[in-house]
Each structure stands twice: as structure tokens, then as C-alpha cells.
Structure 1
Amino acid sequence: MHEDSPEARWAERTEVALFAASLLFMATYATRVLATGLPPVWRDLCGLVLLALWLLFAADYVVRWRLSGQHWWRFVLTHVVTTVSVVLPLLRPLRMVPLYEVLQKKRGEPRLALYARVISYAGLSTLLLGFAGSLAVYQQERGAPGATMRTFGDAVWWACSTLSTVGYGDITPVTPLGRTIAAGMMAGGLALLGAVTGSFSSWLLQTFTREGDEKPPGR
């Protein structure tokens, strides 16, 4: 996406507002899941807010696609994070990287180094994926026959062990949708762990190589 393209200008105008909307979506969803004693009218209101925000994200997706001038399949392939954030709105805050670049551009500040961006993005993505996955799985497992995940604390513990690829097995999803979410979190955990490990290893290798080149030749 070129910086002077219509899509880039649209993103620059809307990215901050949409990021705030994504945080509101997550807060509303968390309230709907965790506040078990919420009156029906407030639960219905939360549902309406979630639907309105999802429609907002979908409308933004359509506008970006139209402004890009690409065929829909090519747009999907070149905007994976945007597509995922529409299908799974809880992951919409993953667009923190475009938001960061928009803010840096407005301020005229230099971007962080690639390694710092990858590690920061992967770390924040892990926290987001863990929290969103805990909410989604807890909503499915709560009250299910034979469920071992009885509290939200159990869900958070399960998410930590899953994303870290440890997998103690003391708490496991029993519902079909819960297991589907678990499979996605396993794949996400492996990808994020690999990204952090690879970036950190590459940074160490580059640092040691540079220090070796700067060392004066031995006598």
C-alpha cells in the first residue's frame, strides 16, 4: 500500500478511531461474558453494541477493498490481519502496528528497528490472544457437561499453558467450539513463539557479528 494511495489516506484518517472501537468491542464482550448477573436489558444492549461495532469494522473493510482497486481475493491475501480482524473482531487490536505507523508518521518520528517492532508486536499479540482466547473458551465451556474449566481464572491458566506450548493437561476444553478455539490458539502460540525466538536470535547474531568486525586485529 503506497503512502499516497486512497487506501493509505483512508487508513490514516480512520485507524485511531477504529482502534478505539476495537478496545470498546473487547470491553463490551468481556462484560457480557464475565458479568453473569447482568440484567437482561443490559445484556441485550451489549449485544447491540457488539453488532454495531462489527458492522463498522465490516464497512471499513469494504471501503478499504474498494479503494485498493484490487480483486477481492488478492485483497484478502495481501490484507491478512485486516481480514482476520473482521472475521474475529476480538483480534481487531492486532492492527496496533498500522496504528503505530500512522501515529509515527503524524509526529514525524522515526520508526523502531525491525527487531524491536517484531518482538513488541509478538509480545502484545500474545497478551491479546491469551485474553481473547480465555474469554471465548470460557464462554463455551462454562456450564458444559464434564467441563474442567469452571472459572475465568481456570481459562486464563489454560490460555497461558496453551500459548507457551507447555500444555499441562489439567484443564482441557470439552465442547467442539472450545476445542476449535484451542487449536487456533496452539497455532498462534507456535507462530508467535517462533517469531520472537527467530527475531531475538537474529538480533544477537547481528550484534555479535558487528562487535567482531569492530574489534581491532590481533597482533
Structure 2
Amino acid sequence: MTLERWQNITEWPMMLAAVLYLAVYSWQVLDPETLPDRTAETVLVGIWLLFALHYVVSLALAPARLSWFLRHLHELVIVALPMLRPLRLLRLLTTLSVLHRVAGVALRGRVVIYISGASVLLVYIAALAMYDTERDHPDALITTFWDALWWAVVSITTVGYGDLYPVTATGRVIAIALMIYGIALLGVVTATLASWLIQQVAEEGDQNAAATEAHVHRLQEEIAELRELLVELPERPRHPEQPESPAR
């Protein structure tokens, strides 16, 4: 079996596994009393094993394993860090034909959709992880999911009001990762906006150049028509020279 065929076969099952992981993890964090902890852990560990198996098989089927490993470090991170497994749902953005029609064929459109989806998912996942980490600490400031969601939005936008912040080591690691992503997100947004502005200016310049070229071409045609008319006109007879007046 080739790597491409393996990925095509497992694409949707892995996405469904990511959806299930996100649902169970959200249920475990937001309403732990109604979900048996043993059941939740069994499902989450099973999904982790599924992700790990998929990664190992993909690496084994890769024709150039070292190159594939270096180009897919994010897959290793998704396997290693439980909270990031739902990020595999981002693949949905590249498979839905509706979003492709909205984004068009331009790379900028796909980048905007991908970054938007990644930001929404990361904010939600980071809020879940932060709430799960901070809520049981005696000095915690983030004690509700809505506090965690507010903190995640503030952090990813690099605003940083400082009204809520993590007090645990794990929470600070989550905060560092989210702030780094927020800085990268601002760079992507700025670059995308600059690219759009450059394209608009270039298109306007092309339109002006095309209009100028059309005017010049029209003037050349009019000059050629005037030359033809001048050639077709009959020559006017010259007046005979008047005799010189006699000298006095």
C-alpha cells in the first residue's frame, strides 16, 4: 500500500476520531459529573492510540522517511500533545468544496479560511485546557469556562488586559503557546492585507496602462486615416508668378 492510498483511506476516520476526542474532552471538562471518568479516559486513550498508529504507519509507508518526518513535525506534535488532536479537524477546511468555491483558487483565500478555522479551534481548545488546569488551584483567577474563554481571546489577540492570568505551570505553558500563535497570526493577517493592497494597486495600474495603450492605438489609427485623406486630396494649382513692376 502506498502512503497516498493510506492517507485517502484514513482521512475521514481520523477526522471523526478528532471530533469524538473534542466532544469527549469537552464533556469531561465542562460537565464531569455526568460522564464517568473511567469511560472518558478509555475513549481518550483509545483515540490517542489510533492517532499514534496512524502516524507510525504513515512514517513507515513514506518513500523518504526522514524528509516526511521533517515535513510533518506537526503530526508528531498532535500525537504527543492530547489537547492538539482536534486540530486535525482543520483538514475539513481543505476538503469541503463549498469553502473552496468561496476561497477561490487564490492562495490568499485558502490561507484566510485555514487561519480563521485554526484560530477558532485553538481559542476553544486553549480555553478548555486552561479551565481544566486552573479551576482546582486555590489561588486560581480562572475559575469558570467563560473566564477561560475570555482569557483565550485576549491572549490570542495579544491584547493582554491582565485581569485574568494562569497561576499553574501547565497553565503558563498553554499561555505561552497561545501567545506565540497570536503573534504569528498577526503576522499572517498583516501579510495577507499587504498582499491584497498590492494586488489592488497592481490591478488599477494595469487598467490605467491598458486604457493608455488603447488611446495611443486610437490616435495612431486617426493619424493614419488623416494621412490617407491628405494623399487622396487633389493638388491645388499654383498661381503664376506676377511680373516684376518696371523700375522707375
Fold shared, TM-score > 0.5 on shorter chain: yes
1:32 aligns with 2:25: no
Q: Match of 1:169, SS?
A: coil
Q: Which residue of 2 aligns with 1:205?
A: 198
Q: Of 204, 212, 217, which aligns to 2:212?
A: 217
Q: Of 8, 12, 28, which aligns to 1:16?
A: 12
Q: Which residue of 2 aligns with 1:55?
A: 49
Q: Match of 1:217, SS?
A: helix
Q: Write the distance in 2 (CA, Å) between the matches of 1:36 and 1:152.
A: 13
Count of residues in correspondence between the two structures? 208
> Following TM superposition, where does structure 1 have runs of at least 4 consecutive aligned residues deviating by more than 4 angstroms?
96-104
Q: Match of 2:123, SS?
A: helix
Structure 1 vs Structure 2: percent identity of aligned residues? 40
Given that residues 118 and 196 in structure 1 are in contact (C-alpha distance below 8 angstroms), is that contact kept between their aligned partners in structure 2?
no
Q: Write the distance in 1 (CA, Å) between the matches of 2:16 and 2:28.
A: 18
Q: Which residue of 2 aligns with 1:107?
A: none
- Report 1:58-137 matches (<5 A): 58-72=52-66, 74-96=67-89, 98-101=91-94, 112-137=105-130
Which protein has the larger Cα radius of gyration, Structure 1 or Structure 2?
2
Superposed CA RMSD in Å reads: 2.3
Q: Which residue of 1 aligns with 2:186?
A: 193
1:81-113 C-alpha deviation (Å, 9 max, x unpaired): 322221224333434554454565xxxxx9642
Given that residues 22 and 90 in structure 1 are in contact (C-alpha distance below 8 angstroms), is that contact kept between their aligned partners in structure 2?
no
Inter-CA distance 43–112: structure 2 relative to 1 (3 Å threshold): farther
Structure with more relative contact order (C-alpha pairs < 8 Å, separation 6 or more): 1
> What is the CA-CA distance between 1:160 and the residue it aligns to?
0.4
For structure 1, the 5+ residue unaligned runs are 105-109
Given that residues 58 and 86 in structure 1 are in contact (C-alpha distance below 8 angstroms), is that contact kept between their aligned partners in structure 2?
yes
Q: Which residue of 1 aligns with 2:160?
A: 167
- Given the two structures, how large is their TM-score scaled by the length of structure 1? 0.86
The residue type equivalent to 1:90 in the other structure is: M
Q: Write the distance in 2 (CA, Å) between the matches of 1:8 and 1:63.
A: 12
1:91-149 C-alpha deviation (Å, 9 max, x unpaired): 33434554454565xxxxx9642001111111110111111111111111002021111
For structure 2, the 5+ residue unaligned runs are 98-102, 216-248
